[in-house]
Amino acid sequence: MDIPSVLSAYRRQAPIYDAVFGTLLGPGRAATVELANRLTGRKVLEVGVGTGLSLPRYRSDIRVTGIDISPDMLDIARRRVADKKIPNVDALYEMDAEALDFGDGSFDTVIAMYVASVVPHPDKLVAEMQRVCRPDGDILVVNHFAGTGGIRGNFERGIAPLSKKLGWRPDFEMEPFLRSGTMTVIDKRNAPPFGLFTILHCRNTRPMAQAAE
């Protein structure tokens, strides 16, 4: 994956994203925000906010900041916030998830929904999420992770060469992703449809800056 490929994919998908992917990815998105709403942290960063489908679902006292690298997706997200008059969205920024322009420990909760298999360098994504999340804060990730074998695993590996066209990696593996950071997984659950997606609830027990010391 590379940034031009990601931008090209989301430029094509932006006009139809809500109708097509909103339905497919909606249950995992709803379950992740529901989990965030049960947490105590009130400052949330949503990495890869896309068209903002999740924004109306946050608890009203939670202050949400969203970032995305796609201006086409952000245009739709900003219209959604204005049309629905969502008062607790502080800002929506065009920003690279691998180089977040926020100070260390700026947020109580950092959320990445369907982003990990899209960015060029998932290890940098993890490092940045940990950096901007406060120590002992919560990091929530929902994503498709590759099957370990069988028909599904073989199919995902077979279409992996099409990653740039698809805009995501179908053969993206969970264990290497988790090993790239120092997050502690405190809960892991399947998300519909068909258990194709996984929600990870992680604790930022050792922020990257501390782990490097």
CA distance 206 to 197: 26
The amino acid present at 6, given as its one-letter code, is V
Q: What percent of the chain has pLDDT over 70?
A: 83
Give the model confidence (pLDDT) of 140-193 as tens digits.
999 887 655 544 444 444 444 434 444 454 557 778 889 999 999 999 998 877
Inter-residue contact 53 to 18 (CB < 8 Å): yes
pTM of the model: 0.85
Q: Classify 3-208 by CATH class.
A: alpha beta
Pairing type for strands 184-191 and 197-203 reads antiparallel
State CA 71 to chain mean position distance.
17
Burial of 205 (0-12, 13-18, 19+ CB in 10 A): middle
Mean pLDDT of the chain: 84
CA distance 108 to 205: 12
Inter-residue contact 1 to 119 (CB < 8 Å): yes
Closest CA to 5 of 130, 162, 191: 162
Q: Tokens 């988790």 label which residue?
A: 178
CA distance 94 to 78: 11
